[in-house]
Chains A and B, each alone.
Chain A
Amino acid sequence: MIQTERLARRFGKRLAVDELTIGVGAGEILGLLGPNGAGKTTTIRMLAGIIAPTSGTARVDGLDPAIEPERVHERIGLLTEAPGFYERLSAKRNLEYFARFYTGIEPSDAAERSLARMGLADRANDRVATFSKGMKQRLALARTLIHEPRILFLDEPTAGLDPEAARDLRDLIQELRRDRRTTLLCTHNLQEAEALCDRVAIFRTRLVAMGSPAELRERQCEPALRLRLREASGDLVSSIERLPFVRRIERVDGEPGGLRVRLDDPEADRQHLVAAIVEAGDEIVEMVSERPSLEAVYLRLIREEPS
């Protein structure tokens, strides 16, 4: 549904997006993760046909946004970073205004339906100026969905919201997953990306890594077993270290008997490790699989990437 091929954008001497090649399949949610100024918004603007690329190509539902922006706009919904409403007009009037630009929808019905979906039906006739930030963001999502687009571009949907409002909005986006809409989600929030996205693209002007959160974790960080033993003597640690399937073993700071062990194949080798510890006469008090968070993967990749 969305495909870019060496897409690039330069503003004067500054390169904002460098030869980005990504694809988003139908019904997939791809998270675009990157620090401020990484070029995420520029990428979305190019895909939405609002600004033109300097080089490279993009296809959105088979259309080139730089050549046929209006046809692309009929098919996409863009949630901009700043919600942006005519504050003196009511919520419904705002939505009707935007709805009238699309063909094939009845503005008043579409506005009412969209407001109801976002839980704002009872505030339809209130001026937007009276809305909280969270409500404005929900209204912005209502506007994004007013023409029922199959492709969504969501730029920092929960930025600046309090935790409750952010969770409400995430729940709404989660509900959209059921409709199988193709979504490109820009976010700083890594938990959000992990919860909502099928795949993530870590991005800093150019693509750094792309895959499902699980794939990225596996690719970038070795999984580990965290153990708490009754004694964990130095002899035991040495004997574990010598086992052929153990890659590395280290003590956990500040935790008596605490060990972190990295194995070749954590699932298969776990039982052999347990057997070796019991055979050596120690006792396992606790054992948990340690998976690196997406945040750890992200920070590692971004730090390695020259800014």
Chain B
Amino acid sequence: MTRRIRNVLYKEWVSLAATPSSLLFVLVIPVLLILQALFLIWLLPIFIAPDMVSVFVEGSGGLQKTDLFRLLLLSQFRFFVLLIPAMIANTFATLSIVEEKLTKTLEPLLATPVRTWELLTGKALSGVIPAVLITWMSAGLFILGARLLGWADLLPYALDLTWYVTLFVLTPGISVLSFIFGLIGSSRATDAKSAQNLAVLVVLPIFAVIGIQVTGLVQFTPLLTALLSVGIALLDVLLLWPAVRLFARESILIRWR
């Protein structure tokens, strides 16, 4: 990583730290998501008959029906967790670009020797690194919460290979995708809110994957999840080209509003 990329990265984080509301959003939302998930998993088996559970969970014989239901819900978290990088990376992208537009710092920045790819990489890393790290920490918090709630016996079933592929391969891909959408959205937006509208393009497919998994129509095996990760990575590469073009100096000064 070059000195200039580190410079952009560091400044983005310092800027975020100087904005308590944004910092709070980035740190609090993942925790709220996890607490909500744990609470629902704890709550739902009390009200819903779990006869259907065996349809979804294989190889977990010997577990109580309530535990089977909890296991089903715990397993859903593997995709539910993808909402965290999607939101965080998008927030970083939009805050970072929209701030440059609002404060009119892009032109003086473009008159320095920083290259466009260095600026873009620094900004991307400033969003993708915290998105991935916070997702991993959230997953750790989720595991800790599950243990504290007495579901340690269920974790070996829930934390299967698909879980790890999702966490360590799919999460970075989703983070990059979300950042790119944030960047594209920001180029035409004049405020952070409208810039974040494109984030829905990342969040909706995640909800779709969660829905597909819940219905049991498709079994997300490690191989299928790995293929999904490759697909997301290809999409990242495909979308990177228009994003880089949008971020070209001339485009920023002439076409951006």
Contact surface of A with B, Cβ cutoff 8 Å: 11, 45, 48, 50-52, 69-71, 73-74, 76, 78, 80, 82-89, 93, 97-98, 100-103, 140, 143
**Does B221 sit at the interface, judged by CB under 8 A?**
no
Some 20 contacts from A to B, beta carbons below 8 A apart, are A11-B254, A50-B111, A51-B249, A51-B253, A70-B114, A76-B111, A80-B107, A80-B108, A80-B111, A83-B104, A84-B107, A87-B103, A88-B18, A89-B11, A89-B14, A89-B18, A100-B3, A100-B4, A101-B112, A143-B108
Kindly count the residue-residue contacts between A and B in the assembled complex, taking CB atoms under 8 Å apart.
75
**Do residues A50 and B114 form an inter-chain contact, with CB atoms below 8 A?**
no
Name the distance in Å between B203's Cβ and chain A's nearest Cβ: 28
- A88 CA to B99 CA, complexed, in Å: 10
* Chain B residues whose C-beta falls within 8 Å of the C-beta of A98 in the assembled complex: 108-109, 112
In the complex, the answer to whether A73 meets B103 with C-beta atoms within 8 Å is: no
Complex CA distance for A143 and B111, rounded to whole angstroms: 11
Chain A residues closer than 8 Å to B18, beta-carbon distance? 88-89
Taking a contact as CB atoms under 8 Å apart, the answer to whether B113 and A86 are in contact is no
- Does B11 lie within 8 Å of A52, measured CB to CB? no
Q: Across the interface, which residues of B come within 8 angstroms of A86, CB to CB?
A: 11, 15, 99, 103, 105
Q: Which residue of A lies closest to B102 (CB)?
A: A87
List 17 additional A-B contacts (Cβ < 8 Å) besides A50-B250, A86-B15, A101-B113. A11-B254, A48-B111, A50-B110, A50-B111, A70-B114, A78-B111, A80-B104, A80-B108, A80-B111, A84-B108, A85-B103, A85-B105, A86-B99, A88-B18, A100-B3, A100-B4, A103-B113
Assuming the contacts A45-B253, A50-B250, A101-B7, asked whether A73 and B112 have C-beta atoms less than 8 A apart, the reply is yes
Complex Cα–Cα for A97 and B8 (A)? 8
Instruction: Report the separation of the CA atoms of residues A100 and B11 in the bound assembly, to the nearest whole angstrom.
Output: 11
> Within the complex, what minimum Cβ distance (angstroms) separates B121 from chain A?
14
A-side binding surface: helix, strand, loop or mixed? loop
Number of interface residues of B (CB under 8 A): 26
B215: Cβ under 8 A from any A Cβ: no
CB-nearest residue of chain B relative to A82? B104
Bound together, the chains give a CA A262 to CA B249 distance in angstroms of 53
- Contact A50:B253 (CB < 8 A) given known A84-B108, A88-B15, A102-B113: yes
Interface of B is mostly: helix
How far, in angstroms, from A197 to B184 measured CA to CA in the complex? 43
- Interfacial chain B residues near A50, Cβ < 8 Å: 107, 110-111, 249-250, 253
Whether B7 contacts A97 by the Cβ 8 Å rule is yes
- Hey, which chain A residues are within 8 Å of B112, CB to CB? 73, 98, 101-102
Out of A73, A88, A143, name the residue touching B19 (CB < 8 Å).
A88
Residues of A within 8 A of B250 (CB): 50-52
| B104 surroundings in chain A (CB, below 8 A) | 80, 82-84
In the complex, A98→B112 CA distance in Å? 7
**In whole angstroms, what is the CA distance A82 to B109 when docked?**
12
Q: Which residues of B contact A80 (CB under 8 A)?
A: 104, 107-108, 111
B250 closest partner in A (C-beta): A51
Chain A residues with CB under 8 A of B114: 70, 101
B65 interface contact, C-beta 8 A: no
Name the 7 nearest CB pairs between A and B, nearest first.
A84-B104, A78-B111, A101-B112, A88-B18, A100-B7, A82-B104, A84-B105
Least CB distance from A148 to B in Å reads: 14
Q: How far apart are A64's CB and chain B's nearest CB, in angstroms? A: 15
Q: Report the separation of the CA atoms of residues A136 and B47 in the bound assembly, to the nearest whole angstrom.
A: 62
Is B103 a contact partner of A84 (Cβ separation < 8 A)?
A: yes
**B188 interface residue (CB < 8 Å to A):** no
Smallest CB-CB separation from A79: which chain B residue? B108
Are B14 and A93 in touch, CB under 8 angstroms? yes
Contacts of B14 in A (CB 8 A): 89, 93
- Least CB distance, A108 to chain B, in whole angstroms: 13
Most buried by B among A69, A70, A97, A103: A97
One digit per residue, 1 when the CB lies within 8 angstroms of any chain A CB and 0 when it does not, for chain B 44-64 equals 000000000000000000000
Can you name the residue of chain B whose Cβ is closest to the Cβ of A128?
Answer: B103
Cα–Cα distance between A48 and B111 once the two chains are bound (Å): 7
Q: Do residues B108 and A140 form an inter-chain contact, with CB atoms below 8 A?
A: yes
Shortest distance from the beta carbon of A65 to any chain B beta carbon, whole Å? 11
Which chain B residues (85-121) contact chain A, with CB distance < 8 Å?
99, 103-115
